[in-house]
């Protein structure tokens, strides 16, 4: 079955770069996503990458995908206190015409001023 | 463009009651997926609707059901509520059913007492 794994916690100093890692098992993934969830809020789509891409950059965010190792990472440059949140990695796959999204457990990012 | 709207935002129900949650997707999006988020189980996929038909279903009991209307708005119903159904229920909207980017609503926080 599908499985998405993330480390549970990451602490960085304000201004440093943060790197959040994720591994997945479904080789038929079509899209991989990074979502941000702040306390008491829903999910916010940060960025996504199509499975045939290696890298995507969007302002302070850089997504790297190693499809061979099924490893996805999110780099946040110049991390700010407002970046403190839980970050979810997710993958979607199309199985028999159905869309299914599987989430990781989430990584709690703590930014120290 | 308006985002995904979920109503109500908060709900308190008693064990044994039933509840209906509503989700209005982004205009033009035809796929609506529902997810349950709890501290213990994380984010879990409930089901996906596309063109008024349920296309995929996660591993939840039959007490959890849904439907989608011709305008793509979706409702989720939970019957015979249990304490363990207390969770944040998230709805996601996608343009198509083939694993494209999903946009989430703020969620409905259901508390069963």
Q: For residue A30, which residues of chain B lie inside 8 Å, CB to CB?
A: 98-99
CB proximity list for A46: less than 8 A, separation 6 or greater: A33, A34, A35, A36, A61, A74, A87
Residue B75 reports pLDDT greater than 80: yes
10 Å CB burial of residue B27 (0-12, 13-18, 19+) is: exposed
The residue among B36, B99, B32, B53 whose CA lies nearest residue A100 is B99
Tokens of residue A59, six digits? 């302002």
pLDDT digits (tens, 9 = 90+) for B94-111: 887 655 677 889 899 999
Q: What stretches of chain A adopt beta strand conformation (E)?
A: 4-6, 9-13, 18-24, 29-37, 43-50, 55-58, 61-66, 71-76, 85-95, 98-103, 107-112
Q: For residue B26, which residues of chain A lie inside 8 Å, CB to CB?
A: none
Residue B1 reports pLDDT greater than 70: no
Residue B42 sits at the chain A interface (C-beta within 8 Å) = yes
Closest CB to A98: pick one of B42, B55, B105.
Answer: B55
Asked whether the beta carbons of residue B103 and residue A48 sit closer than 8 angstroms, the reply is no
Cβ atoms of residues B78 and B92 within 8 Å: no
pLDDT digits (tens, 9 = 90+) for A47-79: 989 888 899 999 999 999 999 999 999 999 999
Question: Closest approach of chain B CAs to the CA of A74, in angstroms?
Answer: 17
Mark B31-60 as b/e (b = at least 16 C-beta within 10 Å).
bbbbbbbeeeeebbbbbbbbeeeebbbbeb
Cβ atoms of residues B40 and B98 within 8 Å: no
Q: B85: helix, coil or strand?
A: helix
Question: What average pLDDT does range B90-97 have in this prediction?
Answer: 84
Closest CB to B99: pick one of A43, A44, A92.
Answer: A92
Alpha helix positions (H), A1-113: none
CB proximity list for B83: less than 8 A, separation 6 or greater: B15, B112, B113
What's the rounded Cα separation, in Å, for the pair A34 and A87? Answer: 7
Eight-class DSSP state of A78? S
Q: For residue B8, which residues of chain A lie inside 8 Å, CB to CB?
A: none
The pLDDT assigned to A52 comes to 87
Q: For residue A28, which residues of chain B lie inside 8 Å, CB to CB?
A: none
10 Å CB burial of residue A34 (0-12, 13-18, 19+) is: buried
Question: What average pLDDT does range B62-68 have in this prediction?
Answer: 96
Q: For residue B106, which residues of chain A lie inside 8 Å, CB to CB?
A: 41-42
Asked whether the beta carbons of residue B97 and residue A35 sit closer than 8 angstroms, the reply is no
Asked whether the beta carbons of residue A41 and residue B98 sit closer than 8 angstroms, the reply is no
Residues in chain A predicted with pLDDT less than 50, given as ranges, are none
């Amino acid at each position: 079955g599908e499985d998405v794994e993330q480390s549970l916690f990451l602490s960085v100093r304000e201004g440093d770069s943060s790197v959040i890692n994720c591994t997945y098992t479904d080789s038929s993934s079509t899209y991989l996503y990074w979502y941000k969830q702040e306390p008491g809020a829903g999910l916010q789509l940060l960025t996504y990458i199509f499975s045939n891409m290696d890298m995507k950059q969007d302002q302070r965010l850089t997504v790297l995908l190693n499809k061979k190792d099924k490893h996805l990472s999110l780099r946040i440059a110049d991390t700010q206190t407002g970046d403190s949140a839980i970050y979810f990695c997710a993958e979607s796959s199309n199985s028999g015409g159905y869309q299914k999204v599987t989430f990781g457990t989430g990584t709690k990012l703590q930014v120290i001023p | 463009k308006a985002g995904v709207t979920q109503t109500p935002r908060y709900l308190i129900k008693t064990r044994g009651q039933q509840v209906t949650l509503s989700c209005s997707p982004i205009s033009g999006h035809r796929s609506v997926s529902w997810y349950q988020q709890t501290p213990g189980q994380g984010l879990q996929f409930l089901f996906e609707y596309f063109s008024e038909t349920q296309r995929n279903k996660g591993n939840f009991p039959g007490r959890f059901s849904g439907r989608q209307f011709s305008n793509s708005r979706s409702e989720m119903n939970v019957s015979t509520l249990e304490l363990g159904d207390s969770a944040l229920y998230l709805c996601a909207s996608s343009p198509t059913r083939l694993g494209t980017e999903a946009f989430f609503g703020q969620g409905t926080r259901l508390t069963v007492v």
